[in-house]
Amino acid sequence: MAAMKKLILLLSIPVAAAAFYLLAPISLPPLPLSFTLEEGSLTHAAGQMQKEGILKHPFPFVLLARAMGKASSVKAGNYEIDHVLNPIQLLYKITGSDFTQSRITLVEGATFGEIRRELDQDPDLGHDAGKLSDKAILSMLGAPESSPEGLFFPDTYYFAKGQSDLSILKRSYLMMQKRLGKEWQNRAAGLPLSDPYQALTLASIVEKETGKERAMVAAVFLNRLKIGMKLQTDPTVIYGLGERYDGNLRKKDLLEDQPYNTYTRPGLPPTPISMPGLKSIDAVLHPADSKALYFVAKGDGTSYFSNSLAEHNKAVNRYQRK
């Protein structure tokens, strides 16, 4: 009888330990806490949360997710924790099982005007930014920049229904500062960029120029900046035209001098022209090893890169003028 009681006691210890783990609050950094999960496996997600200080020991959390059949249900995106959670509640949050959550995706290449419209149209958000000017929004976010363009990180943001749209902008702004700062610290040597904001500005141009060959396109623009050559890129002109742009860029538009016309003015435009993604930022701060100064679209989604104007003109005749 005594042996049976001892066996029951031994068996109950792991059960009690498991119950304690499931229900005990997670020890978290100061709240509110924003973190991002990248695409990847459950183990990768648990490792990311360990780096953020959310999980001290990821292995029990991985076992929990597998036991509950949630191992393949982790959703990539940006999350916010504003109150203490236990492991089950955290699992529900990152697998989309927390039905109090909604989500919104800010897309690479969008302008701030497009972001504002996206936020205004989301029925699950509280709309506090809609009545504010761009300048007032920056002030509310504590952002020192004079323009909001390009300052927000493109990602999927999960939020509680009714949450203010300003909170999404705040998280996105802080995420861009974090990601850009990290990339800037690890940048390649010898770049003709004086600060992270210049890198952000050039990354926004790369984002609008191409979805492929970002590192090569970035190299072209960086090579031009090094020798004082004008960037001569259409997306900046289009941005400067604003509502006057009707989908057709004309020769007179390229000749009209305005702050964003990189055909008439040297150097970078005064602000970013879009919201660049991490791939474009990485391309600018780690460009391809190339001396190319020109590129022309080949019509298949790729470009032909040239080191000289003569070579470039031949490529234009071949791929554009046929």
CB atoms within 10 A of CB 269: 24
Whole-Å CA distances, 31 to 85, 102, 303: 11, 20, 47
Taking a C-beta distance cutoff of 8 angstroms, is the pair 165, 127 a contact? Answer: yes
Taking a C-beta distance cutoff of 8 angstroms, is the pair 62, 46 a contact? Answer: yes
Whole-Å CA distances, 265 to 233, 254, 255, 258, 292: 11, 11, 10, 8, 21
More confident residue, 319 or 157: 157
Confidence bin at 320 (pLDDT 50/70/90): confident
Judge if 94 and 203 occupy the same domain.
Answer: no
User: Is residue 269 one of the residues assigned to a domain?
Assistant: yes
CB atoms within 10 A of CB 225: 19
Q: What is the pTM of this model?
A: 0.85
Say if residue 58 is preceded by a cis peptide, omega within 30 of 0: no
Confidence bin at 33 (pLDDT 50/70/90): confident
Indicate if the pLDDT at residue 231 is higher than 70: yes
Over residues 256-308, the pLDDT tens digits come to 999 999 999 999 999 999 999 999 999 999 999 999 999 988 888 889 999 99
Structural domain range at position 225 = 189-319
User: Is residue 196 one of the residues assigned to a domain?
Assistant: yes
Task: Count up the domains in the chain and report the number.
Answer: 2
User: Is residue 56 one of the residues assigned to a domain?
Assistant: yes
Confidence bin at 23 (pLDDT 50/70/90): low
User: Is residue 123 one of the residues assigned to a domain?
Assistant: no
Domain of 38, CATH number, reads 3.30.1490.480
User: Is residue 129 one of the residues assigned to a domain?
Assistant: no
Q: Is 151 exposed, middle or buried (0-12, 13-18, 19+ CB in 10 A)?
A: buried
From CA 269, how far away is CA 201, in angstroms rounded? 7
How far does the chain reach from its first CA to its final CA, in angstroms? Answer: 94
From CA 44, how far away is CA 245, in angstroms rounded? 44
Confidence bin at 10 (pLDDT 50/70/90): very low
Judge if 95 and 195 occupy the same domain.
Answer: no
Buried b (16+ CB within 10 A) or exposed e, 171-208: bbbbbbeebbeebbeebeeebbbeebbbbbbbbbbbbb
Please state the rounded mean pLDDT for residues 13-37.
71
pLDDT at 152: 98
Judge if 198 and 83 occupy the same domain.
Answer: no
DSSP, collapsed to helix, strand or coil, labels residue 221 as helix
Please state the rounded mean pLDDT for residues 317-321.
81
User: Is residue 126 one of the residues assigned to a domain?
Assistant: no
More confident residue, 81 or 285: 285
pLDDT at 13: 40
Over residues 185-207, the pLDDT tens digits come to 999 999 999 999 999 999 999 99
Which of residues 71, 99, 127 is at a domain's end?
A: 99
User: Is residue 171 one of the residues assigned to a domain?
Assistant: no
Taking a C-beta distance cutoff of 8 angstroms, is the pair 299, 233 a contact? Answer: no
User: Is residue 114 one of the residues assigned to a domain?
Assistant: no
